[in-house]
Amino acid sequence: MQALTNSRIETEYRVRTTRSAQLYAEACAVIPAGLTHDSRTLLPYPIYAARAAGSRKWDVDGNEYVDYFGGHGALLLGHAHPAVVEAVQAQVTQGTHWGSSHEAEVRWAELVHRLIPSAGRVRFTASGTEASHLALRLARAYTGKPKVVRFVGHFHGWHDQVAAGSMSHFDGSVPAGIPATLVEQTILLPADDIGVVTETLRSRDDIAAVILEASGASWGMVPLPEGFLAGLRAVTKQHRVVLILDEVITGFRWSRGGAQARFGVIPDLTVLAKIVAGGLPGGAVAGRADIMDQLDPAAAKKAGREKIGHQGTFNSNPLCAAAAVATLSIVEREDVCDRAEATTDQIRAGMRQVLIDENVPWGIYGDASAFLIFQNPNGLDIDPATFNPLRHGFKELKGVRNANLSHRLRIAMLANGVDIMGAPGGLVSAVHGAEDVARTLEAFRTSVRWMKTEGDIAA
């Protein structure tokens, strides 16, 4: 059993979630930390979900939440969208894995090709991690060069090549379990100075690719400075370095054509996952035909190149393809990104007003349908009315966090019927509406009041 507490926030959370507490205790006996994804960490313990529909989610104790986890951002259309459910149900009776090519993968690739400007060709993977792995392999093979420029705090999945400096080891040091020789193959740069990138690309001849999160680190937690993306495009083109845009979060969300369509910056390769697979597991690499066609034996031979290998049991399996085609067809037809963004505007404005009313020196920000809450762990002099994340560097926004503050806000919000992500923040779907916004803002006001009372926020 969990220890008892004097905190009202924790008590409110615990009394509502006794079955979750029990499941967590059972999980801890067989699953390290009781968790299957580091980002699902929550103190004192996480909720255990039982079902979800639209913008809402219910836990095993029967509590209802407005959900801003959105399947880690995969669910632009909300939970259990009828068209996606129908497509998956129809498919599951026909078989979940044929081990054959099939029509839905062709339609899926066509949709990605039509929607994402850089998608001359598309290859499916089983996750975003696999997609970034494949993109780096393609870029290195294409250029014949070994090094990759990455940016501190930018996340491209959990594989070894991109582990250092994304969620930890921001100083470029070698995380346990990762070979130092692999870490040396990437050059970790700050994402706030195009001059540093320009000088790096100018002074070296061993760089295959530059990869970055289109939103800035962690779906915009550390936004990119004005002109940075366009500057990268220009300098990578000049030095014939492959520009890889990681649009795992931003793809089909920042606009139906991703961040690249929103900002008018077309990369050589795009890494996709989450929404691309309709909320089921899956990812894709899309990009220039001459780079992608290294996967095609005939084209590679014709170009005098070696064919690049790529396998994966669950690549474009029919179940995920069915969900993907259902989802992307709606993204193509309807203005779902605009709807989600309009709702997010209301959430951001409403939360900002709560901070002003309650005299809390935090900041609310975020692009497109993402909202982020800066909790000001170092007690800076911040006016929520004018907070601008670009005035704060990586270190302040992501580098030095007080995880406890995030946990406290999250359990307070859960106790008030809202599930936000650990950033803290959330990704909003096209089916969140006025009632969700009202409930969210009420929960936020109550939560910051509780946190003031309990000394989490200086009065």
* 3-class SS of residue 113: helix
Which x/- pattern over 278-317 shows residues binding ligand PLP (rule: CB under 6 A)? -----x----------------------------------
* 3-class SS of residue 34: helix
Report, in Å, the least distance between residue 46 CB and ligand PLP. 17
Report, in Å, the least distance between residue 170 CB and ligand PLP. 16
Q: Which is nearer to ligand PLP, 243 or 443 (CB)?
A: 243
Number of residues interacting with ligand PLP: please give it, by CB under 6 A.
Answer: 14
Q: Which is nearer to ligand PLP, 323 or 412 (CB)?
A: 323
| Encoded tokens for 353 | 């007003």
Report the alpha-carbon distance of residue 40 to residue 47 in Å, rounded: 10
> Between vectors from CA 451 to CA 447 and to CA 454, what angle results, nearest 5°?
140
Given candidates 248, 324, 427, 451, which one binds ligand PLP under the rule CB under 6 A? Answer: 248
Q: Scanning residues 57 to 76, which ones bind ligand PLP (CB under 6 A)?
A: 72
Q: Which is nearer to ligand PLP, 109 or 212 (CB)?
A: 212
367 binds ligand PLP (CB under 6 A): no
Report the alpha-carbon distance of residue 393 to residue 361 in Å, rounded: 17
127 binds ligand PLP (CB under 6 A): yes
440 binds ligand PLP (CB under 6 A): no
Report the alpha-carbon distance of residue 401 to residue 420 in Å, rounded: 17
Strand 363-365 vs strand 370-374: parallel, antiparallel, or unpaired? antiparallel
Report the alpha-carbon distance of residue 211 to residue 246 in Å, rounded: 7
213 binds ligand PLP (CB under 6 A): yes
Report, in Å, the least distance between residue 152 CB and ligand PLP. 14
Q: Cα 143 from chain centroid? A: 28
Q: Which is nearer to ligand PLP, 128 or 318 (CB)?
A: 128
Q: Which is nearer to ligand PLP, 133 or 352 (CB)?
A: 133
260 binds ligand PLP (CB under 6 A): no
* Phi–psi pair at 246, nearest 5 degrees: -85, 105
Report, in Å, the least distance between residue 384 CB and ligand PLP. 27
Nearest residue (beta carbon) to ligand PLP: 128
CB of 120 closer than 8 Å to CB of 334: no
Distance in angstroms between the alpha carbons of the first and the last residue of the chain: 33
Query: What counts of helices (H) and strands (E) characterise the chain?
Result: 18, 14
Question: 121 - beta bridge partners?
Answer: 287
Q: Which is nearer to ligand PLP, 282 or 350 (CB)?
A: 282
Q: Which is nearer to ligand PLP, 155 or 371 (CB)?
A: 155
Report, in Å, the least distance between residue 419 CB and ligand PLP. 17
Residues in Cβ contact with 259 at an 8 Å cutoff, skipping those fewer than 6 apart: 214, 215, 229, 245, 247, 250, 251, 265
Report, in Å, the least distance between residue 427 CB and ligand PLP. 10
Using CA atoms, how far residue 3 sits from 6, 21, 28, 102, 416, in Å, is 10, 11, 15, 54, 22
Q: Which helix (H) or strand (E) holds 151?
A: strand 147-151
Q: Which helix (H) or strand (E) holds 220?
A: helix 217-220
Given candidates 129, 255, 343, 416, which one binds ligand PLP under the rule CB under 6 A? Answer: 129
125 binds ligand PLP (CB under 6 A): no
132 binds ligand PLP (CB under 6 A): yes
Using CA atoms, how far residue 20 sits from 69, 200, 391, 417, in Å, is 18, 50, 40, 15
Q: Which is nearer to ligand PLP, 84 or 273 (CB)?
A: 273
Q: Which is nearer to ligand PLP, 59 or 246 (CB)?
A: 246
Q: Which is nearer to ligand PLP, 399 or 417 (CB)?
A: 399
249 binds ligand PLP (CB under 6 A): yes
Question: 371 - beta bridge partners?
Answer: 426
Q: Which is nearer to ligand PLP, 13 or 155 (CB)?
A: 155
* Phi–psi pair at 367, nearest 5 degrees: -110, 160
Q: Scanning residues 133 to 162, which ones bind ligand PLP (CB under 6 A)?
A: 155-157
369 binds ligand PLP (CB under 6 A): no
CB atoms within 10 A of CB 173: 11
Given candidates 67, 105, 246, 341, which one binds ligand PLP under the rule CB under 6 A? Answer: 246
Task: Give the full edge-to-edge strand order of the sheet including 49-53.
Answer: 49-53, 56-59, 64-67, 418-419
Enumerate the H helices of 382-457 as residue ranges.
Answer: 394, 403-415, 434-453
Report, in Å, the least distance between residue 413 CB and ligand PLP. 21
Given candidates 273, 354, 360, 409, which one binds ligand PLP under the rule CB under 6 A? Answer: 273
Question: By the criterion CB under 6 A, which residues form the site for ligand PLP?
Answer: 72, 127-129, 132, 155-157, 213, 246, 248-249, 273, 283
